[in-house]
Chains A and B, each alone.
Chain A
């Protein structure tokens, strides 16, 4: 059982990394990856929201959606929006510095595909409560990993001589492509398990 959970965790974190192989959570991936510490904090905020979302999605799927399956999308997105609002208020109260650092991207977690994607994948795959939580932590860790890697590389790119036409998003996309190639190397892990 614990082995099964470990594979869910590893699968979500590196093998099927949300950002690099499902393209989820790209907005913060390109938007907030300018500085290492901000990237790391946003990753942590994401993990937090993901875990709460996972629990909420499980409860909705278990107790409410059997009666009204067509409400799946609407109920998920509403719950996520409220959870993010709550997290935003909590962070504003507890750590104004962090609140300023995350700026506009905290409310934007609502429209972060990764959050809704997690809720949808989790219910599509029929994960239970514990599996869902582990899946959320793995996915969040994967997002954080991708964000931090990207931020680290971008710091280097700032210092190098990039051709004018590639500056901005184009070079970031090419870097992301190469990172994604590197992460494909992890695909063998799951086969071995």
Chain B
């Protein structure tokens, strides 16, 4: 029982950081770049994706013994599309402003590679608890990455965060950041920082592994 507890925790955490769907696996870029021009939009998109991911993982995992193999992908897509339709209608009812700004991109959650990928790679092969843990971790990691992108783009492109002005009237906004090229450039920059940081950590780990040997030799 203890081993199982441990792995639930493991599945939860890996999506947040070590296997973050956007920052490490670079999946699901279509929605993550298109709607992350402001922090609220990014957050709404992240939460909607989170809901769809957790819902579909739960359903796929509980139906995994019933779904016939040859038509599994189509089945997953129908399940995902159902949850996306729910998310779409709920957003339309409660936050019509954001729903209008996100437009067709809410519906496009259906074709987010992250969601289908998790169903095929994880939910269809594991029990409900693990599948939901995996989905929660991945969904949270996705939301985190989206929020990071959205917040930086809004701060640089508009000088605001959640509509609150940060720098006063003298700030000249980098308009390009809230336009489409800004999405590519920002994600590129974030991945660059991430890559540099990972390379440094790897180098340090290597140095730490070599150090005792060197001491022993001396």
B85 touches A (CB below 8 Å): yes
Assess the B104–A117 pair: CB atoms within 8 A: yes
Q: Within B164-209, which residues are at the interface with A (CB < 8 Å)? A: 176, 179-185, 187-189, 191-192, 195-196, 199
Assess the B85–A174 pair: CB atoms within 8 A: no
Render A154-182 as a binary contact track against B, CB cut-off 8 A, 1 for contact. 00000000001111111111101110110
Assess the A121–B113 pair: CB atoms within 8 A: no
Assess the B176–A165 pair: CB atoms within 8 A: no
* Most chain B Cβ neighbours within 10 Å, of A27, A124, A178: A27
Residues of A with C-beta under 8 A to B89: 70
A73 touches B (CB below 8 Å): yes
Residues of B with C-beta under 8 A to A172: 188
Residues of B with C-beta under 8 A to A72: 85, 107
Give Cα A137–Cα B191 distance, bound, in whole angstroms.
Answer: 34
Give Cα A179–Cα B45 distance, bound, in whole angstroms.
Answer: 26
A60 touches B (CB below 8 Å): no
Q: Within A22-38, which residues are at the interface with B (CB < 8 Å)? A: 22-27, 30
Give Cα A30–Cα B31 distance, bound, in whole angstroms.
Answer: 15
Assess the B81–A74 pair: CB atoms within 8 A: yes
Given contacts A124-B104, A181-B181, contact A74 B78 (CB under 8 A): yes
B156 touches A (CB below 8 Å): no
Residues of B with C-beta under 8 A to A141: none
Given contacts A165-B199, A169-B26, A170-B195, contact A73 B88 (CB under 8 A): yes
Assess the B182–A177 pair: CB atoms within 8 A: yes
Assess the B30–A73 pair: CB atoms within 8 A: no
- Give chain A nearest CB distance to B138 CB in angstroms: 16
The number of chain B residues with a CB under 8 A from chain A is 40
Assess the B187–A120 pair: CB atoms within 8 A: no
- The residue in chain A whose Cβ has the minimal distance to the Cβ of B185 is A177
Stretch at the interface among A4-12, A42-50, A93-101, A108-116: A108-116
Place the interface of chain A in its size category.
35 or more
- The residue in chain B whose Cβ has the minimal distance to the Cβ of A121 is B104
- The residue in chain A whose Cβ has the minimal distance to the Cβ of B29 is A26
- Give chain A nearest CB distance to B50 CB in angstroms: 18
Given contacts A22-B34, A73-B84, A180-B180, contact A120 B107 (CB under 8 A): yes
Residues of A with C-beta under 8 A to B184: 173-174, 176-177, 180
Given contacts A23-B180, A23-B183, A169-B26, contact A77 B34 (CB under 8 A): no
Q: Within A115-161, which residues are at the interface with B (CB < 8 Å)? A: 115-117, 120-121, 124
- The residue in chain A whose Cβ has the minimal distance to the Cβ of B32 is A23
What are 5 A-B contacts defined by CB distance under 8 Å? A74-B81, A113-B111, A174-B189, A178-B181, A180-B184
